[in-house]
């Protein structure tokens, strides 16, 4: 394992990269983004000391599903490669539970957002079938989701 240090806004890895490493945060903060290179990047998570990321790519041998960016100067990470993975967790079994809890929380949040979006689309279709103009509640829900995305982005940029 090696220690790596990143400056604010430095990319740790990019969505689509193929790599067999994960990271533990020793200090600082890391933002996990979807569509980071676009005009409308979406902050999916802000992670801090004691949290892990990149485990999905390591465990599944798939390309990265998001971009990881340091949010603070001096963000220090421990890089864990595929060869060190098993030995690392045998020596730190409590870390396995920490990662499992984090994955579960991320999945729960993703499911919640997906269901909200699905309900908003359903409401729009129902309103259209009933001959009504696009429902006020749909506009409200979509506006709320957009505000959340913007607030997440500004939180990441301004801490």
Cα three-residue angle 77-46-115, rounded to 5 degrees: 135
pLDDT of residue 99: 76
Q: Which CATH superfamily is domain 2-158 in?
A: Jelly Rolls (2.60.120.10)
Q: What pLDDT digit, counting tens, does each position of 17-59 carry?
A: 988 889 999 999 999 999 998 888 889 889 999 998 998 877 7
What are the CA-CA distances from residue 9 to residues 32, 47, 86, 107 (Å)? 12, 14, 31, 26
Across 124-144, average pLDDT: 66
pLDDT tier at 134 (50, 70, 90 boundaries)? Answer: low
What are the CA-CA distances from residue 102 to residues 73, 140, 150 (Å)? 24, 30, 23
- Residue 156 has φ and ψ, to the nearest 5°, of -70, -40
């Amino acid at each position: 394992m090696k220690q790596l240090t990143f400056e604010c806004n430095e990319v740790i890895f990019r969505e689509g990269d193929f790599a067999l490493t994960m990271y533990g945060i020793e200090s600082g903060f890391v933002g996990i983004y979807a569509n980071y290179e676009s005009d409308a990047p979406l902050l999916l998570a802000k992670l801090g000391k004691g949290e892990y990321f990149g485990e999905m790519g390591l465990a599944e041998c798939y390309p990265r599903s998001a971009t990881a960016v340091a949010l603070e100067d001096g963000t220090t990470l421990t890089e864990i490669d595929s060869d060190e993975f098993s030995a690392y967790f045998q020596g730190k079994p409590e870390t396995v539970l920490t990662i499992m809890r984090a994955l579960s929380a991320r999945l729960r949040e993703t499911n919640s957002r997906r269901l909200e979006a699905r309900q908003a689309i359903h409401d729009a279709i129902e309103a259209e079938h009933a001959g009504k103009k696009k429902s006020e509640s749909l506009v409200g829900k979509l506006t709320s989701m957009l505000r959340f995305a913007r607030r997440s982005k500004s939180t990441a940029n301004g801490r």
